[in-house]
Amino acid sequence: MANRAVCAPWVLCLGEALVDRLGPLGGDPATASLSDCDDRLGGAPANVACALARLGTPVGFLGRLGEDDIGASFNELLRDRGVDLRGVQVDTVRPSRVVLVRRDATGERVFQGFAGDQGEGFADQGLDCQQLSLSWPALASAARWLLVGTIPLATPESAETLQWAIEQVDQSDLRLALDVNWRPTFWDPAADPSAGPSPQALASMAPLLDRASLIKLAREEAIWVFNSDNPEAISKCLPTHPDVVVTDGGHPVQWCIAGHVGAMDVLAPPRVVDTTGAGDAFTAGLLHQLLALTPSGGAPLVLSAAVVEEVIRYAAACGALVCAGAGGIDPQPSAADVEHFLLQSAAMVSGLR
């Protein structure tokens, strides 16, 4: 595949790039043979970066990969997608991370542990602040959003780098988008995959929550962090009164965006192969649409309730289409794919009336 031309990024995605080792449906990836597992490039920020690039939004990825086959595969993928690579670091000691993903018979997944640690941890844990600071001025020259999650907070070195990046947001016209993406296994490999954040983890998240302009949470994350799944209540309790979106798998998505509160049934995927990366595709679709409604270098336009609902519908279409394929990146749709799916969905609804 020929390399795509890279434009100055409008979105910077900071965090982990890794391999999701998908176990056989109903099986355990820790004990299954490699031939029965499906290794897919992933990691929430990398997923969002690739999805944005597929939709046509200029984007850069800021992360750290091992000097290994996974790192080489990621560099090739990002380059082919047209993602700006100037923020990608190489770790010559620690390997790229492999996440073991258990899937039930319906494709729903649980992150249950890691593979590949040689005693020094993983490359993404070593995201280096000094290296990032050298590439930051060029990377951020045209950027409008910084997209982050909470996983870098789990390790001191990457947490320091994330905190530095947040300080740059405070000193610029960048807006912060936060996908909470709570994954207890990254904080403690022995943790129950269904456990909520500890008080220490919640305290480390507070600076991100207090600065964010947009927050996306799964319903269980909203309840863990805010004791509420009401987007309006969450927005009102934070100093920046951010836009808030709460997703809930196949149940309705709720939002408080531009002062408008609403809920909508999610769009049914053509089929469900694997739900990995659906939320990341949703986030990418949301940012892609918000950027399309934002004048270059200016504040967002005043959005009507109807426009906000269309933005959410577009994001939901992105998430639905990813469920139809394996992994979080390969099935990501183009803008044309999304528009076609939305037209099909509208025609189906109209035919049922």
Q: Are 89 and 63 in contact (CB under 8 A)?
A: yes
- Does some domain include residue 138? yes
The total number of structural domains in the chain stands at 1
- Does some domain include residue 4? no
- Does some domain include residue 241? yes
Strands 145-148 vs 175-179: parallel, antiparallel or unpaired: parallel
- Does some domain include residue 302? no
Q: Domain of 104?
A: 11-246
- pLDDT, greater one: 298 or 293: 293
> Which pLDDT belongs to residue 107?
61
Average pLDDT of the residues in 261-269: 93
Share of the chain above pLDDT 90, in %: 72
What's 232's domain CATH number? 3.40.1190.20
Given strand 175-179, what is the order of strands in its sheet? 84-91, 59-66, 11-14, 145-148, 175-179, 214-218, 243-248, 251-257, 260-264
- Does some domain include residue 80? yes
- The tens digit of pLDDT for each residue in 70-119 reads 999 999 999 999 999 999 999 999 999 999 887 776 666 677 789 889 89
- Does some domain include residue 299? no
Give the Cα separation of 299 and 4 in Å (integer): 29
Q: Which of 24-38, 71-85, 148-162, 175-189 has the lowest mean pLDDT?
A: 24-38
